Chains A and B, each alone.
Chain A
Amino acid sequence: MAEDTSSSPLRAVDGVRTPGIAAALTRFCRSLHDRGLPVSPAESVDAARALQAVDLGDRAEVYFALRAVLTTAPGDIPIFDELFDQLWATGPRHPVTPIPGPRAPTPRARPPSTTAQTVAAATLARWARVADAGTEEPGTWRLPSALETSGPQVFTTFDDAALPDVRRVARRIARRLATRPSRRWRAASRGVRLDLRRTVRHALRTAGDLSVLLYRKRRIRRTKLVVLCDVSGSMDLYARLLLQFLFALQHSFARVETFVFATRLSRITNHLSGREYRQAVEAVSRDVGDWNGGTRIGTSLGRFATEWRRLTDRRTVVIILSDGWDTDEPAAMTEALTTIRRRAGKVIWLNPLLGSPEYQPLTRGMQAALPHLDVFAPAHNLESLDALAQHLLL
């Protein structure tokens, strides 16, 4: 670790002239930063100012002061405690209470990802082959044009003739999402409420006569979707139709981000944006070479939670499509979902197996996930996807 304190911002702060303290504080801030805490030079200047204000001989006081300045979330505190103990190697240890809601592990703390990247895009290649309408699989069941009369049909028996119906469902969902009124207002020439501010301004021109009434109406709430689809071997039966669904959704609704995962997480939003379903699937199968070696749901979701956190906010609905067969430790699932749910407006898990009456969500992964979900619903046929619309409202 660099000992260079001449460039330390702390030199600028009066009082922390003692090179030893400034250097130690700089090192401390750097080590916090390295462990993923949001500590920049601005925070270290604040820390130095805080140290000026407290009793440097009092370990507890220095601890509480630095903790107030340098942490920003409960998950920071265990890391802070550990490094503070190193900074202040002597004296009694401050009792640490465990704090819920752990921050997701920093990239450094993550074990190296598995390199088992077998070429197994065969599955996707197969989907691509059958993507050209229903010609290749003659005799397969064809959907009637109206969804309402189609009756429940398990995805596994669908061919790609179903794509138009999948599209219709996707479009219906998109329409639902696009027309939600928000709690905020915008100016309008016609609307439900008078905009007094603008009306009065206008009235000034006519000597106070309210000749023109101006209104305001509610903004449209902009819901966003993030879809994370499991494409591991166990999902093979359903993944094809789910991918059609993802494709259709991407085309019906502008604010969708799509990811697939088996052992690794891949963003396929751009792949799906092509005009042709077949090309889209080919692009995905070309770039996503990860269809083997089991399912690491916890790791994949954790990766999403840390690396793509900017995609989720209060107005985002996160949809996970998976059967819940996870080879990761349940703790990874719990941690990832806790993080995602705290940022997102809603977390929905769609499990194709839930369509079967005998199915019980007993796998360890599913058990770990259940407490952190807002909605747990089936996704085995078009009807269940259609029912998704009602859950998407925030």
Chain B
Amino acid sequence: MRAEVRRIYDLMEREGYVTDRGIATAVYLAVTLRKPLLVEGHPGVGKTDIAKVLARVLDTELIRLQCYEGLDASTALYEWNYPKQLLHIKLTEGAGHSVAHQEATIFSDDFLLKRPLLQAISCRGRAPVLLIDEIDRSDEEFEAFLLEVLSDFQVSIPELGTVRATETPAVVLTSNRARELSEALRRRCLYVWIDYPSAEKELRIVRTKVPDLDAHLAAQVTGIMQGLRSLSLTKVPGIAETLDWGAALVALHAQHLDQELVRETLGCVLKDEADLRTVEARLDAGELVGVAAGGE
């Protein structure tokens, strides 16, 4: 293993992100080759955390852009501070400034509201980590616009001119595959697919993130979660749910998971009524918990 990849791996682990070689290699290449990293996977498998951890590893600022349908350039890039502009015009009314002068003043940096993309590009000093979260929730127009920004890291503001990034930010995009992204965007990026973790990796994550959870209980929780994912549920629980559940059990001072406790706390894990019924039927049949409890 290349020393740098090992270093990224170790740093990510030290920052509390339980990783694997595939993720570490991709993150290392994204930073080295200066390409955006597209992270795909089911909800709740820790896609967003990659960017957060990367920012800590690189000891730099994390700038986050949450995508949604209808997100447009003015929300993502910049907006003028209109109330401030109007106020300024009113206050300088009698000063006899020319329109050109007035315009130059109110369309200057002081009146500019930088949104995440512009923040990332115009950042002075160390290049930030730009997290573009849930890109699949934005629409095609925005994706095309984003592609443009990501290809040369410069934007032109009609009133100000072109702003160019001095340091290329490290870009992490996440997607739940709610919508197929364009081929062009995919090709621009390095790609990582994060699957549900193996039992062993999940246990490691639980132990890292919920250190107060009893070791035996953590193993039980992990075992049940792995079992749940093998059922065909509408909303398959991710690692985020495992951790929620672990934290809930800590809060309840639970010592041992039995059927009753699982049933009472199932809401941490399953967020769909039909799923709840499916799993409750399994519990009634003595499944899921039986295996884990049998290990005692």
Contacts and interface: CB of A to CB of B under 8 A. Distances in A.
A46 interface: yes
B72 A64 contact: no
B282 interface: no
Given A65-B29, A77-B193, A343 B179 contact: yes
A69 B29 contact: yes
A383 interface: no
Nearest to B179: A314
B2 A101 contact: no
B133 interface: no
B147 interface: no
A204 B89 contact: yes
Interface stretch (A27-35, A53-61, A126-134, A148-156): A53-61
Contacts of A182: 70
A64 B25 contact: yes
A38 B187 contact: yes
Contact of A55 (B1, B85, B99): B1
Interface size class of chain A, counting residues whose CB lies under 8 Å from the partner chain:
35 or more
A50 interface: yes
B143 to A, nearest CB: 10
Contacts of A208: 86, 89-90, 93
Given A53-B28, A183-B69, A197-B80, A61 B2 contact: yes
Nearest to A342: B180
B176 to A, nearest CB: 11
A58 B195 contact: no
Contacts of B28: 53
B85 A200 contact: yes
A108 interface: no
Contacts of A203: 86, 89
Contacts of B32: 53
B29 A50 contact: yes
B180 A64 contact: no
Contacts of B141: 184
Given A54-B25, A61-B21, A184 B93 contact: no
Interface in A323-380: 342-343
B233 interface: no
A61 B5 contact: yes
B296 interface: no
A184 B24 CA distance: 38
A60 B70 contact: no
Contact of B35 (A46, A58, A99, A204): A46
B126 interface: no
Contact of B177 (A40, A101, A205): A101
Interface string B279-296: 000000000000000000
A333 to B, nearest CB: 17
A313 interface: yes
Summarize B's interface: helix, strand, loop or mixed: helix
Contacts, number: 120
Question: A38, A49, A184, A315 — which one has the most chain B CB atoms within 10 A of its CB?
Answer: A184
Contacts of A212: none
A53 B139 CA distance: 35
A207 interface: yes
Interface string B181-213: 001001101111101000000000000000000
Interface residues of B, number: 49
A80 B93 CA distance: 67
A19 interface: no
Given A49-B33, A101-B177, A197-B80, A210 B86 contact: yes
A305 to B, nearest CB: 11
B80 to A, nearest CB: 6
B61 interface: no
Contacts of A53: 2, 4, 28-29, 32-33
A142 to B, nearest CB: 46
Interface in A181-227: 182-185, 196-197, 199-200, 203-205, 207-208, 210
Contacts of B187: 38, 40, 42-43, 72
Contact of A72 (B22, B29, B93, B186): B186
A90 interface: no
Contacts of B186: 38, 72-73
A360 B38 CA distance: 43
Nearest to B83: A196
A101 to B, nearest CB: 7
Contact of B1 (A58, A313, A343): A58
Contacts of A390: none
B29 A207 contact: no
B102 interface: yes
Interface in B27-80: 28-30, 32-33, 35, 37-38, 40, 69-70, 72, 74, 79-80
A72 B5 contact: no
B198 to A, nearest CB: 8
A208 B91 CA distance: 10
B214 interface: no
A84 to B, nearest CB: 13
Contacts of A207: 89, 93
A81 to B, nearest CB: 12
A97 B197 CA distance: 10
Contacts of B40: 73-74
Contacts of A64: 21-22, 24-26
Contacts of A314: 139-140, 179
B103 interface: yes
A71 interface: yes
A67 interface: yes
Query: Which of A55, A60, A200, A313 is the most central at the interface, judged by chain B CB atoms within 10 Å of its CB?
Result: A200
11 contacts: A49-B33, A54-B29, A61-B1, A68-B29, A71-B193, A73-B186, A73-B191, A77-B193, A101-B177, A184-B72, A208-B89
Given A54-B29, A61-B1, A183-B70, 9 more contacts: A64-B24, A184-B141, A196-B82, A200-B82, A203-B89, A204-B102, A210-B86, A314-B140, A314-B179
* 7 closest A-B pairs by CB: A183-B70, A208-B89, A72-B186, A64-B25, A196-B82, A68-B26, A55-B2
